[in-house]
Each structure stands twice: as structure tokens, then as C-alpha cells.
Structure 1
Amino acid sequence: MTDPAAPRLLDPGFDLTLRPMRYPQFYEMYRDAVRNTWTVEEVDFALDVNDLKHKLGPAERHLIERLVAFFATGDSIVSNNLVLNLYQHINAPEARMYLSRQLYEEALHVQFYLTLLDTYLPDPVARAKAFAAIENIPSIRAKAAFCFRWMDSIQSLQRLGTRDDRRRFLLNLVCFACCIEGLFFFAAFAYVYYLRSRGLLHGLASGTNWVFRDESGHMAFAFEVIRTARSEEPDLFDADLQAQVVRMLEDAVECEMAFAEDVLSGGVAGLSTRDMRQYLQYVADQRLAQLGLPRHFGASNPFAFMDLQDVQEVTNFFERRVSAYQVGVQGEVAFDAAF
């Protein structure tokens, strides 16, 4: 039985006691993440270089340039929010163990995208422009502004002393789980797997498989923090906060649609902005369902190429966390048809 005197997950403080462990689910998530260890050196970009030179037209090259420009800073933004806003307020040492592992994984993603940019954009001027995307590419600047708005919303919070403080914290967590990792990155993954369905850029797709697994674990952790906080303080997640979450996802869909219009501006066969909007709405509905909220958009997945990925482990990443990892897994990494 839980000690009634023990702090709740979002109570101010810095509990250091791992035994008795109050939230063993977070410790298990940490262990699962460790089993999923991979390195950037495992990803082979050799075939990608040939594809970029000989198989991609101008529209596809524009798509890739925008995509890698977003990747260049996306995970760094997530890392900053994790360090500045999440670690200090989630008051359980086993949960902070997972956050420490997540920070490592975000750094690994940054290394992966650094290697990706160095490989894909050998021209120093083009590479510098990609790394400065949040300053010089409007569609990416808008996505960064969306992220920073929610980071800044709790930047001044030193402790979650009031109900309103904890609600603000939960909105930040929902934003990063549902909108940034769960929508912006999932849209990027769709572009990657579309290209793979055409036999292109297998190195990028291979590395993205590992990133996808990591991001799925990050979302699962965030949703479990939210679920736990709601169970301990049911009044936090009232109708007003639920309405704020829906509006947040609506804003995120529109923000990502502006990026889609940029990415697809050259006309990419097999991808349309109409289908991309439907896909984003579909993903947003999955996120609402993971929060235990009604679906808002009522959209279905329009992308057949997302339905049939090569499967090594049958796992529905929209609905439950992954636990079947091993350190040093060899071969193709993939996920189930419910994607």
C-alpha cells in the first residue's frame, strides 16, 4: 500500500529514495530503453548518397533538404525542455532515471541528424543554412516558435506549488508528447517511409526506425506521467484543460500543415497536402485517445505505404509501449501494420 505521507508525483520536492519504489512502471521503462541501445555507426548511408545524386528529382531533393533542416534542431529543442522543465518537477527518482536515459537518446538523435546532414549536404553553405533553419526557413521557424511558446509557458516555474502550476506543467508535457514528438516527428517519419516505399534512402529509413522506437518510448513515458498525475489528482484534468489540449492539437496540425505545404511545394508524386492533413488529423486523434480523450477529427490513415512495414516485432506503437528490445539487435527494425 502506498504511504499516504509520500509525495505525489507532481508535488514540489526532490525525493531521492528508490526503495520502497513508488512507481515501478517508470523503472521498467528505463530498463526497456537501455535494452534498445543503438549507435549511429550502425547506420549505413552509402546507398543514400547514390540515391541523392542519381535517383531524386528536384521536388524530392527539396523535401529532403527541408526534412533534414527540421531534424537539425528538433531534438535539441526537446532536450532543452526535458532539462529545463521536466526533470525538476517530476518528483520520483525512478522517473528521473528514465528522463536521464531519454536525454541520452535525444543526444544520440542529434548525433544521427548531424551525421545525416554532413552526408546529405556536403556543401558547407547549404549545411550552415540547414543548421540555421529556425532563423531562415519560415515553416521551420513557425514550428520552433510553437515549441518555444509552450517551453516558455512554465520557464519561470521553480516549483509546482499550486493546482494551476501543475496544470501548466501538464500542458507543457502534453505539448511535447502529443504535438512535438507525437505529431511533428511522426509527420517527418511519414516522409521518410514514403521515400523508402519507393526504394529510396534506406540508410535514412534504417536510422529512423531506431529513432522511431526511442520516440515511441518517450511518448509512452509522458503519457504514463500524465495518467499517474490524473489518478493522484483527478481535478487537474478538467473540461477546461481538455479543451485546451484539443486547441493545442488543432494549432499543431495547422503548424505542421504549413511545413507540409513547403515540403511538398515542388509536387511530389504520391504525396498531397490534402492527404497530409488527413494523416496529421489521424495521428492527432491517436494522441487524444492515448490521453483517454474522445477523438476530435475522425480521420483515417490515408497512406497505404504506412500500413505495410516489414515487421520484426508486432507492436502497436500508437497504443502501447515497446518492451521487446535487446542491446545490439541486428538486422531490420520495423513495426506493425497498425501504424
Structure 2
Amino acid sequence: MRYPQFFDMYKDAIKNTWTVDEIDFSDDLVDLDRKLMPAEKHLVSRLVAFFATGDSIVANNLVLNLYQHINAPEARMYLSRQLYEEALHVQFYLTLLDNYIPDMAEREAAFAAVENIPSIKAKAEFCFRWMDSVHHLDQITTQDERRRFVMNLICFATCIEGLFFFAAFAYVYFLRSKGLLNGLADGTNWVFRDESCHMNFALEVVETIRKEEPELFDAQMESDIRAMMRDAVDCEHMFAADVLGEGVPGMSLKDTREYLQYVADTRLHLLGYASEFGSKNPFSFMELQDVQGLSNFFERTVSSYQTGITGDVSFDEDF
């Protein structure tokens, strides 16, 4: 086995098995009907619209681009498991739609968000731009093609899964900090864990490529990555302006921009680069997520997971 670290990641992923049927949305329905303000309902509506299509885009890139060119057998074992988890996430979001949006016309509008909601359309176009950069490649042979593939992988690890989805999780955990939509928060805890593992796997692949082909990682690539990260932050800030557009008490657009820049900097650090923005985390409820969310995650393992988690628990995950 040439890359045992990928096989270890595959085995760890198997231990994290969960099912959507375990999530209880009954309290959420009461919150939606009686407790959420109109501005918070708008926030939830936009989140659901993004979730309805976001993980399908990720799964498409996984199948059409990444699996084809990451050909180490042990790495493909992990990618196969990741595809299962992406399908599980899609099921979670579909169940969310069933519970939150019983009206079929509203549900169809949520599925069409990439066409009729500009802030979500912009994020989808960002994703498609990077998918299309390597989609037509049957084989990767030249250095330019290898560079484009690495950029696609970095984009999906750090910008799409690592920024777009983690920004969405922040809205969920903000509502949880107010005692709202605990069913959504419970499901998000599990998705949060999966997405962290997906990002770590992709970054391990990037690091493996860096060791084997260091000439790809020149000054131009760093410049391109920083430009890509700035573009992703701008894209997500546009979505934040939409999500918070009706005025959500306790969550300002200024603080959200600061948070997005902070997350972008943490992704750059994982790639071995210095900060681009120098921002700090303004959301105390996300600082607690490392401990509270993961401790709850492990407390529920015995009753909620099909396969228990063994080994040491780490509370220093990057979010």
C-alpha cells in the first residue's frame, strides 16, 4: 500500500456512520410556526434553498472529476465513502425540505435556486467554473493540466466545502445559540464532522502532490489560490447580504464578512500560506462549536451511531 494514510482515513470514516432517520424535526416545526421572526424565516428559507442543490454539485465534481484522476486504490476507497456521505447529506437536506417546506410550489422554487436567486446562482457559477476547468480532461498529462487539477481540488476543499458550507453552518449554529431549530443543528453536527474529514482528505492529497511534484507549487499558484479565495469570500458575502437582508438581530453583515475572511485565512494556513485578510473570529458561538458541538457529537455516539468511535478525541479541529 503506497498511501496508507488514505486507507486510515477511509477506516475512520466508516466509524462515523449515521442515518438521517435519527434526526427529530418535531421541535423545529414549532419553532418555525411560533418562534422565528420574519427575518429569521427568510434566513432559513435561503439556507434551505442553498442546501437543496449545494451537495449535489459537490457530488458531481467528486464523480466526474476527482475520482477519475485520483487513481490510488486506497484514495479511491475514501472517495467512494465520501460519495456515500454526500448522498447522505443530500438525503438530510431533502428531509429538511419535506419538513420545512410542505408546499410543493415553494419546494420547486428552492430546487431552482441556482437559476432564480442571484446570490445562490453566483455561488453555483463559482463552482461550475472550477468544475469546467478540468471536466473535459480524460487524462492529465501536461504540467498545466496537473496544475489545473490541483487548483480544482484546492477550490473544492477550501472554498466550497471549507467556506461556502462552513459559512452556512454558522447560520445554523447562530440559531442554535438562541435555542432554535435543534433538529437542524443536530443534523448539521454530523454533516459538519463529515465535511471536516472531506476537507482534510483533499488537503492530504494536495500535500502528497506537493511532495511528489513540488515544481507545481510556485509563486504563481499561490497568487492564483489567493485570488480564488478572495473571489470565494466575495461570493459568500453576497449570499450573506441576501440571507441577512431583512435584519437578523445578533448577526451583522460586517461581522459575517469578518468571519468569512477569518475562515479563508484558516484555509490558507492549512495550505501552508500566510493570512490574506488578518481577520479574527467575531462569532463566539462558533468558538464554542469546537468543544460543544464535538463533545455533543461524541456523547451521542453510543445511542445515535451505528458504529462507535474509538480512540482519542481532539477538540482543536479547524472550523
Same fold (TM over 0.5): yes
Shift of 1:174: 0.6
How many aligned positions are there? Answer: 308
Q: In structure 1, what is the Cα distance between the partners aligned to 2:131 and 2:318?
A: 32
1:90 equivalent to 2:70? Answer yes
Identity of aligned residues (%): 67
Q: In angstroms, what is the RMSD of aligned CA positions? A: 2.0
| CA deviation profile, 1:158-191 (whole Å, cap 9, x unmatched) | 1110111110000000110010000000100000
| CA deviation profile, 1:124-164 (whole Å, cap 9, x unmatched) | 11111001110111110110000000000111111110111
Do 2:42 and 2:246's aligned partners in 1 also have CA atoms closer than 8 Å?
yes
Normalising by the residue count of structure 1, what TM-score does the alignment of the two structures yield? 0.88
Q: Which of residues 148, 166, 173 is equivalent to 1:193? A: 173
1:75 equivalent to 2:55? Answer yes
- Which runs of structure 2 are paired with 1:172-251 in the superposition (5 Å)? 172-251=152-231
- Which runs of structure 2 are paired with 1:118-129 in the superposition (5 Å)? 118-129=98-109
Alignment-derived partner of residue 254 in structure 1: 234
Alignment-derived partner of residue 247 in structure 2: 267
Moved over 6 A (4+): none
What code does the residue aligned with 1:263 have? V
1:141 equivalent to 2:121? Answer yes
Shift of the 59–290 alpha-carbon distance from structure 1 to 2, 3 Å rule, reads: same
Shift of the 281–198 alpha-carbon distance from structure 1 to 2, 3 Å rule, reads: same
- Which runs of structure 2 are paired with 1:95-110 in the superposition (5 Å)? 95-110=75-90
Do 1:33 and 1:101's aligned partners in 2 also have CA atoms closer than 8 Å?
yes
1:64 equivalent to 2:28? Answer no
Q: In structure 1, what is the Cα distance between the partners aligned to 2:104 and 2:123?
A: 24
Alignment-derived partner of residue 24 in structure 2: 44
Return 5+ residue gaps in structure 2 as ranges: 296-303
Shift of the 48–258 alpha-carbon distance from structure 1 to 2, 3 Å rule, reads: same
Alignment-derived partner of residue 16 in structure 1: none
Greater fraction helix: 2
Shift of the 327–145 alpha-carbon distance from structure 1 to 2, 3 Å rule, reads: same
Alignment-derived partner of residue 303 in structure 1: 283
Do 1:85 and 1:155's aligned partners in 2 also have CA atoms closer than 8 Å?
yes
Alignment-derived partner of residue 163 in structure 1: 143
Normalising by the residue count of structure 2, what TM-score does the alignment of the two structures yield? 0.93
Q: Which of residues 256, 263, 266 is equivalent to 1:283? A: 263
Do 1:311 and 1:336's aligned partners in 2 also have CA atoms closer than 8 Å?
no
| CA deviation profile, 1:261-293 (whole Å, cap 9, x unmatched) | 000000000111100100000000000000111
Shift of 1:311: 3.2
Return 5+ residue gaps in structure 1 as ranges: 1-20, 315-324
Shift of 1:306: 1.1
